[in-house]
Amino acid sequence: MSEHNQDKETVINALGGKKGLIDSGLPAVVFLVVFNVKHDLRLSLWAALSFSISLGILRLIKKDTIQHAISGTLGVVICAFFANRSGNASDFYIPKLLTNLGYGTAYLVANLAGWPLLGIVLGPLLGENFEWRHNPIRKKMYIRASWIWVIMFFTRIAVQYPIYRSGNVNLLGTVNLAMGYPLFFAAAYGSWLVIKTAPPVIKSS
């Protein structure tokens, strides 16, 4: 594998990777499908949680990393708590909205402070640690790439919050899925396109 492809995989995996999206996204699909078929909130929540736990067990059997499965299960538990507490299926998506708000704000503030989160996360993984802070071109590159994520997170909120307020759980669930995988991969690929145009990494000793 070429160095560029290796760096590309490093970027994608650091941002969650395919397995992370599967472990965090599929339980929400199960929730929406079961809710539409059975119209039973608690059954739908248990189905999503059981599916998430099953993914974790499968990862263990395959001796694969369970980091994303654990975080995915924890996410489902939190979503289920909100929905079960209110009895409103739409509240299953409140934590997802709050997560987007939290990440979007963090990326925004970090960019304005001159410490882009992509630089903080990817610098050590790409072998330059925080040397990019002293390289104006690479610093600018990380800031530009991080703006992509600011836009993505706040776009999700701008579109999904009004739907949540409308109480249309089917539309909210569908839009949440549509703006999940596709936007993530678009943002990750866009970040990679920005990152690969910068000067080569000067690896710190």
What is the rounded distance in angstroms from the CA atom of residue 155 to the CA atom of residue 104?
9
What is the rounded distance in angstroms from the CA atom of residue 20 to the CA atom of residue 70?
10
What is the rounded distance in angstroms from the CA atom of residue 67 to the CA atom of residue 82?
23
What is the rounded distance in angstroms from the CA atom of residue 133 to the CA atom of residue 83?
43
| Three-state secondary-structure class, residue 159 | helix
Give every CB contact of residue 16 below 8 A, 6+ residues apart in sequence.
24, 68, 184, 188
pLDDT for 98 equals 96
pLDDT for 55 equals 85
Q: What is the pLDDT along the chain (205 residues), one digit of tens a residue?
A: 444 555 566 666 666 556 666 777 889 999 999 999 999 999 999 999 999 999 888 878 887 777 767 878 898 999 999 999 999 999 999 999 999 999 999 999 999 999 999 999 988 888 888 999 999 999 999 999 999 999 999 999 999 999 999 999 999 999 999 998 889 888 988 998 998 888 776 654 4
Q: What is this structure's pTM?
A: 0.85
Are 87 and 80 in contact by the 8 Å Cβ rule? The answer is no
Give every CB contact of residue 48 below 8 A, 6+ residues apart in sequence.
27, 28, 30, 31, 34, 76, 79, 80
Quote the tokens at residue 59: 């990862």
The residues spanned by each domain of the chain are 3-195
What is the rounded distance in angstroms from the CA atom of residue 84 to the CA atom of residue 43?
11
Report CA torsion sign: 184, 124, 142, 102. Answer: positive
Q: Where are the beta strands (DSSP E) in the chain?
A: none
User: Which residue type is seen at 195?
Assistant: I
User: Which residue type is seen at 56?
Assistant: G
What is the rounded distance in angstroms from the CA atom of residue 204 to the CA atom of residue 191?
22
pLDDT for 1 equals 43
Looking up tokens 């079961």 gives 34
